[in-house]
């Protein structure tokens, strides 16, 4: 072998190759490098960070945080502080968004370089011989590695056969708009739908949101979903529940019309309840707007043929089947993030990346516990949840004496000062290891600072903290965090500032 061939081989040979540089991918790469593994990360885009840094978490929160100042100014007027809102400088706002994205992606690039992770740009695929082919558009490069981590992420799911366009948009296109729309129909009621609904509504957009169920966040605790639905309506968003979107009309002209069926749960026929064949009565409606944002979930990016060729098993939803540590059905191939079953959250992918890297290094990490992963929505008001809902806890055979305790947020002075409302509930119960000692199983919040406060609740849920001990934790006064302490006291049978 010539010196040049040896150099070429060493340049393309690694202990670990990671496909995708989103939260799960870059965390796996950074942790593996920290554990003295040689690592390459392959990214199809020109910059690292994946959807989260470039088209998701960071740009949306940059806009939401900035526009929240409008609500602050409006509330200030009501308490005697005379602030006036004079409109949005969209050029400056979008510059701010781009600056935040650039800052975060450049910081990640620097950190990867510091850890000596090789960043290779191109489209990756796994060959049958376990090598990784990288096509940059001009040439193909072959990488070899003992282990491979797949972190290809997900993409917005479209509505039926309706293609995305200038008026039927996904979250990527929504973030690319130079200005906010005058009017918008949002199809969906999950985190992405609610964050854009709050963002645009605060900025002055006329927003209609179509929710399939009786409330938004229908998979969350019922109390949280009902509360947030009420508060979104109170803020001016036209939330239409029991709405099943049937068609979207868009043409060359500006604007879009969304057709939907709405189930009338109050209607009764002469037989006393439905349309005679066991189905609820429904009626057809339509709503028009500048744009329709389709936010009905995301599809895992696992459609490439090489997944099958590499022997990687997928489930019926296109998700990669893994064990509790992230191993796939193919030897020495691992998967993390949105392509695996569970919460599609960046912070879950972070922990998965750490777990996989440590497992590859021969350590014995604890598996990721999906019951302790917080869900957060940066709507207005915010929503956050961790652990089991009442219904979920009651369905677990190993749990008994399950209870849900609700705490009225408006009994907290600092919540009242914000001008917002919400709800907070704590789910407790006993398990086989704590037969006579209730532990904190779940906490569900809607209200100011919920996305920050949920981290405290996650510690209690994750550590299976006994309710009696959790209720004795002291919270500073006067703070919004006291709402958690008060809810725990009430659950423990010792309510202070509530009945």
Q: What is the pLDDT of residues 362-421, one digit of tens each?
A: 999 999 999 999 999 999 999 999 999 999 999 999 999 999 999 999 999 999 999 999
The closest of 363, 362, 382, 366 to 374, measured between CA atoms, is: 382
Q: Average pLDDT, stretch 250-269?
A: 79
- Distance of alpha carbon 42 from alpha carbon 138, whole angstroms: 16
Does pLDDT of 268 surpass 50?
no
Predicted pLDDT at 432? 85
Helix and strand numbers, DSSP H then E, in the chain: 15, 22
Could you read off the pLDDT of 65-124 as tens digits, one per residue? Answer: 999 999 999 999 999 999 888 999 999 999 999 999 999 999 999 999 999 999 999 999
pLDDT in tens, 238-249: 999 999 999 999
What's the pLDDT score for residue 143? 98
- What does the pLDDT look like over 157-209, one tens digit per residue? 999 989 999 999 999 999 999 999 999 999 999 999 999 999 999 999 999 99
State pTM to two decimals: 0.94
| CB of 417 closer than 8 Å to CB of 439 | no
In what order do the strands lie in the sheet containing 243-250? 243-250, 256-263, 282-289
State yes or no: 320 annotated in a binding site: no
- Helix (H), strand (E) at residue 391: helix 390-395
Angle, in degrees to the nearest 10, between helices 23-34 and 346-360? 30
pLDDT for residue 245: 97
Alpha-carbon gap, residue 456 to 484, rounded angstroms: 9
**What span, in angstroms and rounded, lies between the C-alpha atoms of 271 and 278?**
11
62/68 Cα distance (integer angstroms): 10
142 has binding-site annotation = no
Mean of pLDDT over the chain? 93
Q: What is the predicted pLDDT for the residue at 6? A: 44
Average pLDDT over residues 52-56: 95
DSSP letter at 91 equals H
How does residue 282 score in pLDDT terms, banded at 50, 70 and 90? confident
Q: Which of 6, 114, 219, 477 is catalytic?
A: 477
Burial of 102 (0-12, 13-18, 19+ CB in 10 A): middle
Nearest to 188 by CA among 208, 172, 202: 208
**Distance of CA 242 to CAs 187, 207, 265, 295, Å?**
12, 17, 9, 16
**Does 153 belong to an annotated binding site?**
yes
Strand partners, 289: 256
For residue 459, what are its two tokens? Answer: 């510690």
* Residue 475 a catalytic site member: no
Q: Is 439 helix (H, G, I), strand (E, B) or coil?
A: strand
Consult the annotation and say whether 125 binds a ligand.
Answer: no
Which is higher by pLDDT, 250 or 19?
19
Contact between 484 and 411 under an 8 Å Cβ cutoff? The reply is: no
d(CA 144, CA 147): 9
65 is in an annotated binding site: no
Rounded to 5 degrees, what angle do the CA atoms 97, 178, 174 make? Answer: 80
The tally of CA atoms less than 13 A away on the side-chain side of residue 377 is 30
- With bands split at pLDDT 50, 70 and 90, how would you rate the model's confidence at 274? low
R_g of the chain, CA atoms, integer Å = 25
Tens of pLDDT, residue by residue over 120-146, are: 999 999 999 999 999 999 999 999 999
pLDDT for the residue numbered 270: 42
What pLDDT score was predicted for residue 383? 98
Q: Can you tell me the mean pLDDT for 349-363? A: 98
CA angle 300, 303, 306 (to 5 degrees): 125
Q: What is the pLDDT of residue 8?
A: 54
Averaged pLDDT, 453-472: 96
Q: Has 107 been labeled as part of a binding site?
A: no
Which residue shows structure tokens 């995708």?
20
289 among annotated binding-site residues: no
pLDDT > 90 in the chain, percent: 89
**What values do phi and psi take at 107, rounded to 5?**
-65, -40
Residue 273 has pLDDT above 90, yes or no: no
Band (277; pLDDT cuts 50, 70, 90): low
User: Do the annotations mark residue 379 as ligand-binding?
Assistant: no
- When mean pLDDT is compared across 9-13, 47-51, 340-344, the lowest value belongs to 9-13
Phi/psi at 402 (5° precision): -75, 135
What pLDDT was estimated at residue 4? Answer: 45
């Amino acid at each position: 072998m010539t010196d040049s061939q040896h150099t070429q081989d060493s340049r393309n040979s690694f202990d670990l190759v990671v496909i995708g540089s989103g939260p799960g991918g870059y965390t796996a790469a950074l942790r593996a490098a920290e554990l003295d593994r040689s690592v390459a990360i392959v990214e199809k885009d020109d910059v690292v960070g994946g959807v989260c840094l470039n088209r998701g978490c960071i740009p949306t929160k940059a806009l939401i945080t900035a526009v929240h100042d409008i609500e602050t100014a409006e509330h200030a007027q009501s308490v005697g502080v005379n602030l006036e809102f004079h409109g949005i400088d969209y050029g400056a706002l979008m510059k701010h968004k781009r600056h935040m994205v650039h800052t975060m992606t450049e910081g990640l690039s620097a950190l990867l370089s510091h850890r000596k992770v090789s960043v290779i740009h191109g489209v990756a695929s796994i060959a049958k011989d376990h090598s990784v082919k990288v096509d940059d558009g001009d040439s193909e490069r072959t990488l070899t590695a003992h282990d491979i981590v797949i972190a290809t992420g997900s993409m917005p799911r479209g509505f039926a056969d309706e293609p995305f366009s200038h008026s039927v948009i996904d979250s990527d296109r929504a973030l690319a708009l130079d200005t906010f729309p005058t009017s918008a129909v949002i199809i969906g009621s999950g985190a992405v739908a609610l964050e854009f609904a709050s963002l645009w509504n605060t900025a002055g957009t006329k927003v209609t949101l179509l929710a399939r169920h009786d409330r938004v966040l229908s998979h969350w605790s019922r109390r949280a979903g009902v509360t947030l639905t009420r508060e979104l309506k109170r803020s001016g968003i036209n939330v239409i529940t029991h709405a099943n979107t049937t068609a979207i009309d868009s043409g060359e002209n500006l604007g879009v019309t969304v057709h939907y069926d709405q189930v009338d749960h109050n209607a009764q026929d002469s037989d006393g309840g439905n349309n005679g064949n066991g189905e609820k009565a429904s009626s057809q409606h339509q709503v028009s707007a500048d744009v329709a944002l389709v936010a009905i979930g995301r599809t895992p990016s696992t459609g490439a043929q090489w997944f099958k060729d590499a022997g990687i098993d997928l489930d019926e939803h296109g998700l990669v089947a893994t064990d509790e540590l992230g191993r796939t059905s193919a030897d020495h191939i691992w998967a993390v993030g949105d392509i695996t079953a569970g919460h599609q959250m960046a912070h879950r992918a972070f922990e998965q990346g750490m777990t996989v890297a440590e497992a590859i290094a021969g350590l014995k990490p604890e598996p990721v516990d999906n019951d302790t992963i917080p869900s957060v929505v940066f709507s207005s008001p915010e929503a956050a949840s961790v652990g089991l809902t009442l219904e979920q806890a009651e369905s677990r055979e190993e749990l008994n004496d399950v209870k849900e305790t609700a705490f009225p947020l408006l009994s907290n002075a600092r919540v009242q000062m914000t001008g917002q409302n919400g709800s907070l509930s704590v789910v407790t119960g006993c398990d086989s290891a704590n037969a006579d000692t209730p532990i904190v199983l779940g906490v569900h919040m809607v209200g100011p600072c919920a996305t920050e406060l949920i981290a405290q609740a996650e510690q209690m849920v994750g550590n299976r903290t006994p309710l009696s001990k959790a209720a004795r934790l002291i919270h500073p006064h006067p703070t919004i965090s006291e709402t958690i302490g008060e809810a725990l006291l009430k659950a423990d049978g010792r309510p202070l500032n509530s009945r």
